[in-house]
Amino acid sequence: MDWLAQPNVLVALGVCTAAAMSTILGSLFVVFSKEPSPRLLSFGLAFAGGAMVYVSLIEIFWKAEQGFAQLHDPRSAYIYATLAFFAGVFLLMLIDRSIPNPHGSISSANGDQSHIKRVGLLAAFAITAHNLPEGLATFLATLENPVVGIPLAAAIAIHNIPEGVSIAIPVYYATGSKKKALLATFLSALAEPVGALIGFAILAPFLTPNVFAIVFGMIAGAMVFLALDELLPTAKRYSRGHETVYGIVTGMAALAVSLILFK
């Protein structure tokens, strides 16, 4: 296919796949650790949330505005970028209303195997659904500019680790099989590069500055909603002190330093 010859395509796919595979680290954490630290999990979730909010509002939204500015006056470009941002928010809101969030259910799972198995399937399905736009976000960000894509991939990779935990815990305890827990997280991880390839294959013929701007605006909104609705509340649930706020600030600082270093 012609789009494979475009600059940064293989780099973008590699970065997207690497970020996705960090989901498997979460399953390894569950399988080989008897008592995962809730405080560490809280910090990791908050770190990812802070990083994603920062890169979305500081860098990705700005990219959307700049894309619109190539064809429109500055005020209109800002308005269109804002509309795209909230379109991304509402899109994730609709997905969240359609697909139950698994994180709250996992903490209340008891010894009943059928219940745990149901939670495991629900977790895998919901997280896989969320991984599709995340994969496209990482791929397009890296394709357009690796300076933006690599820090975003790092943030997504970090929050993929606790997602792997969320899938592996119920699958492992429902089946008693480490292999099935690893397989479930691997299949969920594949959703990111698959989502990237499918999304890009559909959008490739239409990748004008306006299309890039719309996609990046929606990505920024979707990432902010994901952080505020899923990552940070879950981080607070596992927190035993100030891990959540420390994680948020550290995540934002790490992304800020990454963007400075890569510019």
Q: Is residue 134 part of a domain?
A: yes
Q: Which residues contact 203 (CB under 8 A, 6 or more apart)?
A: 211, 215
Domain carrying residue 111:
39-262
Q: Is residue 10 part of a domain?
A: no
Q: How many domains does the chain have?
A: 1
Q: Which residue shows structure tokens 């219940």?
A: 115
Which helix or strand (DSSP H or E) is residue 14 part of?
Answer: helix 9-32
Other beta carbons less than 10 A from residue 74's beta carbon: 10
Q: Is residue 2 part of a domain?
A: no
What digits encode the pLDDT tens for the residues 81-121? 999 999 999 988 887 677 554 444 444 444 445 655 655 56
Distance CA 197, CA 150 (A): 17
Q: Is residue 31 part of a domain?
A: no
What pTM, to 2 d.p., does this model score? 0.63
Q: Is residue 61 part of a domain?
A: yes
Q: Is residue 3 part of a domain?
A: no
What digits encode the pLDDT tens for the residues 174-220? 677 778 888 888 888 888 888 788 877 776 677 677 887 888 898 88
Report helix angle 74-98 to 113-144, nearest 10.
160
